[in-house]
Amino acid sequence: MQLFLGQIKGLEFYLDKAEVQHCVKVLRKTVGDSIHFICGDGNLYLGNISFASKSNVYGSFTKVKSNFGSIPYELTVAIAPTKNMDRFESFVEKAVEMGIKRIVPLICERSERKIVKIQRLEKIALSATKQSMKGTLTVISEAIPFKTFCSTDHSNMLIAHCEEDGQKTSITEQLTKGLATTILIGPEGDFSPSEIALAKQIGAKPIHLGSSRLRTETAGLVAVATVYQQLG
């Protein structure tokens, strides 16, 4: 099934501008054809095209399914962007495929990258959403300083760091069905001692992701995959 991103206005649907060319030029859809589309609200829709041009596609629609491709948990990963953006983009793609509510690029004391182009990450996330057949769009937040992120409320916050810490437990011990979870993943140089202390001060539980020392994007994927397998 080919999925498109659209929006609903009154009794009609409109494809997003970026989707029109693929629909009309590549797939050669035209008036009278039916397409499946999502709006990011969790539903799957079936649209019947009543107008198609190089710049616009719209028509009538019916809702086919609620909670389309829904995942039974809410996961936020706040993760330091990698110096090599290809690696961070790969994390975004795979994390969205497995199901994640929100990705927050986290700017830490030891971050190698402090500027992130959200628009490109959103395109990658949208493609992964459609490929993995989901009706809800993952939120890609603007990059935020670590201290600022910690100043807001987050339920069941976990921090994966590399320092020796007698309080660390396995991530699997800290996951609970029905409880929204936030996982902090640091940069290649790890969180600084002051950042770890701040996170623990506001209630973040220190965790480990196994016996190996992992790259940032690998640690992020291990965390997402663990939640996916345990709570999905």
State which of 65, 90, 107 marks the end of a domain. 65
Q: Which of 107, 105, 127 is nearest to 117 (CA)?
A: 105
- Same domain assignment for residues 83 and 166: yes
Rounded CA gap, 8 and 37, in Å? 10
- Same domain assignment for residues 222 and 119: yes
Percent of the chain with pLDDT over 90: 94
In a domain, 226, yes or no: yes
- Same domain assignment for residues 42 and 153: no
In a domain, 80, yes or no: yes
- 3-state SS assignment for residue 18: helix
Please state whether beta strands 139-140 and 157-160 pair in parallel, antiparallel, or not at all (unpaired).
unpaired
- Same domain assignment for residues 135 and 42: no
Total of domains in the chain = 2
State which of 17, 37, 65 marks the end of a domain. 65
Mean pLDDT for 176-180 is 93
Q: Which of 57, 32, 62 is nearest to 47 (CA)?
A: 62
- Same domain assignment for residues 153 and 198: yes
Are 23 and 53 spatial neighbours (Cβ–Cβ below 8 Å)? no
Torsion sign (Cα): 143, 152, 220, 100: negative
Residue 153: pLDDT band with limits 50, 70, 90 = confident
Mean pLDDT for 167-179 is 94
Whichever domain contains 49, its CATH number is 2.40.240.20
Mean pLDDT for 160-165 is 92
Whichever domain contains 85, its CATH number is 3.40.1280.10
Please list, residue by residue across 119-144, b when 16 or more beta carbons sit within 10 angstroms of its beta carbon and e when fewer do.
Answer: eebeebbbebbbebebbbbbebbebb
Mean pLDDT for 184-202 is 96
In a domain, 70, yes or no: no
In a domain, 220, yes or no: yes
- Same domain assignment for residues 146 and 86: yes
Which residues, in sequence order, are bridge partners of residue 38? Answer: 5, 44
Rounded to the nearest angstrom, the gap between the alpha carbon of residue 97 and the centroid of all alpha carbons in its chain is: 8
- Same domain assignment for residues 184 and 210: yes
In a domain, 222, yes or no: yes
Tokens of 47: 């649209």
In a domain, 23, yes or no: yes
Q: What is the pLDDT of residues 21-71, one digit of tens each?
A: 999 999 999 999 999 999 999 999 999 999 999 999 999 999 999 999 999
Residue 155: pLDDT band with limits 50, 70, 90 = confident
- Same domain assignment for residues 171 and 199: yes
Q: What is the pLDDT of residues 137-152, one digit of tens each?
A: 999 999 999 999 999 8
Please state whether beta strands 181-185 and 157-160 pair in parallel, antiparallel, or not at all (unpaired).
parallel
Backbone angles phi, psi at 186, to 5 degrees: -90, 180
Mean pLDDT for 147-168 is 92
Concatenating the DSSP letter of every residue in 34-86 gives EEEEE-BBS-EEEEEEEEE-SS-EEEEEEEEESSTT--SS-EEEEEPPPSSHH
Tokens of 19: 């989707």
State which of 25, 42, 65 marks the end of a domain. 65
- Same domain assignment for residues 113 and 173: yes
Mean pLDDT for 96-118 is 95
60: containing domain: 3-65
